[in-house]
Amino acid sequence: MSRYEESKKIYASYGVDCETALKKLKDIKISLHCWQGDDVQGFDNDGPLTGGIQTTGNYPGKATNPQELMADIDKVLSLIPGTHKINLHANYAIFEEGEFVDRDNLQPKHFAPWVEFARKRGLGLDFNPTFFSHDKATGFTLASEDDEIRDFWINHGKSCLKITEYFAHELAQPALMNVWIPDGFKDTPADRSRPRERFLKAMDQILAIPYDTKNVAVSLESKVFGIGVESYTVGSAEFSLGYTLSRKILPLFDNGHYHPSESVADKLSAALLFFDKVALHVTRSVRWDSDHVVSFDDEIREIAKEVINAGADRFFIGTDYFDASINRLAAWVLGVRNLQKALLVALLTPQDYFANLQNKGEFTELLVKQEELKTLPLGDVWNHFCEINGVADDFTWFEEAKIYEKEVLALRG
């Protein structure tokens, strides 16, 4: 009997059907963030990262053009079970030779190569306006008191909304457009209200344009603080939750965007009482929103548990981290696989049984059984999932990544 068959029997003794869990896991789409491959640089600007965005390290082999980035994504996809989505930022527009279009006038044609890339692989696309790393983003963007700058970024948001609609229609998959701005103050502000009023009106102007609300979801992402805006963030959690609820769009929860003692897992069940769906950016913060590679840790497992308990169809799930200190491709693969493993843990949990123990006040037995579950043979079930999906298991995928590094990444300038 194989290790997987033995594991099936063990989980069955807890009332868990491994085959059902694996079928559900295969259907959960994760939106892979394109910016891990090139340190958030994109193709429309060769200047420094701004807006509180930072990468650390200078590991060789980062993608320097669309062809290299797409090749790296292909390799990543070959090492991740299932069929997923790609999450693009607007600064990854692809122009014809000699062409340049600023962000306020981006059009669907500037992302047509990404649509063809996704179509050939059965992928979906999600999108993010890029309100950073631009000469008009040295101060405030959508909250700017300068009408010209604010209008520029409003037009950028409108352009991005039409591009997201293009993705949804061309690929026949719902697409998410997520808005995050870096606007804030380094020191204690004299006026907290007016920047938020301007942000609110700017968002209203973006959302006022007609778009396919059935197939295009818009989310707003909050943040507690950022580098250079430690004292005040315009798009705070309270602002974002109030705005999304009143405008009937989605909140996006990035688990690196809260105080370290806050639990995003705990926020989800509360939010889902008021929203049909919510969006997630999954990362790993260390001390602050430092975008480390997602680890198979307690925080991620708790978030995954809430996703499965509520129903994965109620979430847009994306990854969001960037580490330039290690092999970027390996970081990509490891983080996504860890997120999938966390989802598998949740799917292999006898949640109804556990909930019944909680309801009956059997807290000792609940704790004992929860601890028992931690040492069950998850790895054998996961490796079987990799096998039936035609990708390398946990013992071999890194060897493929090292070969790719030697044969492809190491040859880049």
Q: Compute the distance between CA of residue 136 and CA of residue 131 in angstroms, rounded to an integer.
A: 9
Identify whether 291 is a catalytic site residue.
Answer: yes
What is the pairing mode between strands 184-185 and 232-233?
antiparallel
Beta bridge mates, 179: 220
**C-alpha distances in Å from residue 321, one per residue of 32, 142, 276, 307:** 10, 24, 26, 20
Which residue among 180, 332, 382, 397 is the active-site one? 180
Which residue among 158, 223, 305, 384 is the active-site one? 223
Task: Judge whether 103 and 132 are in contact, CB under 8 Å.
Answer: no
Task: Judge whether 248 and 285 are in contact, CB under 8 Å.
Answer: no
Identify whether 289 is a catalytic site residue.
Answer: yes
Identify whether 259 is a catalytic site residue.
Answer: no
Which residue among 254, 302, 323, 405 is the active-site one? 254
Provide the 10 A C-beta neighbour count for residue 75. Answer: 20
Identify whether 281 is a catalytic site residue.
Answer: yes
Which residue among 126, 183, 289, 380 is the active-site one? 289
Which residue among 72, 165, 183, 291 is the active-site one? 291
| Count, residues in the chain | 413
Which residue among 38, 320, 323, 405 is the active-site one? 320
**C-alpha distances in Å from residue 242, one per residue of 103, 132, 179, 229, 230:** 28, 24, 15, 21, 22
Written as one letter, the residue type at 372 is E
Q: Compute the distance between CA of residue 33 and CA of residue 16 in angstroms, rounded to an integer.
A: 32
**C-alpha distances in Å from residue 238, one per residue of 221, 243, 282, 308, 338:** 11, 8, 20, 26, 30
Identify whether 266 is a catalytic site residue.
Answer: no
Identify whether 165 is a catalytic site residue.
Answer: no
Contacts of 175 (CB under 8 A, 6+ apart): 124, 125, 126, 127, 164, 165, 167, 168, 215, 216, 217
Contacts of 40 (CB under 8 A, 6+ apart): 49, 53, 55, 89, 133, 322
Relative orientation angle of helices 66-77 and 397-407, to the nearest 10 degrees: 160
Nearest to 256 by CA among 293, 231, 229: 293
Which residue among 29, 75, 257, 277 is the active-site one? 257
Which residue among 158, 281, 341, 384 is the active-site one? 281
Q: What is the 8-class DSSP label of residue 40?
A: T
Identify whether 84 is a catalytic site residue.
Answer: no
Residue 390 three-state SS: coil
Which amino acids are annotated catalytic?
Answer: 180, 221, 223, 254, 257, 281, 289, 291, 320
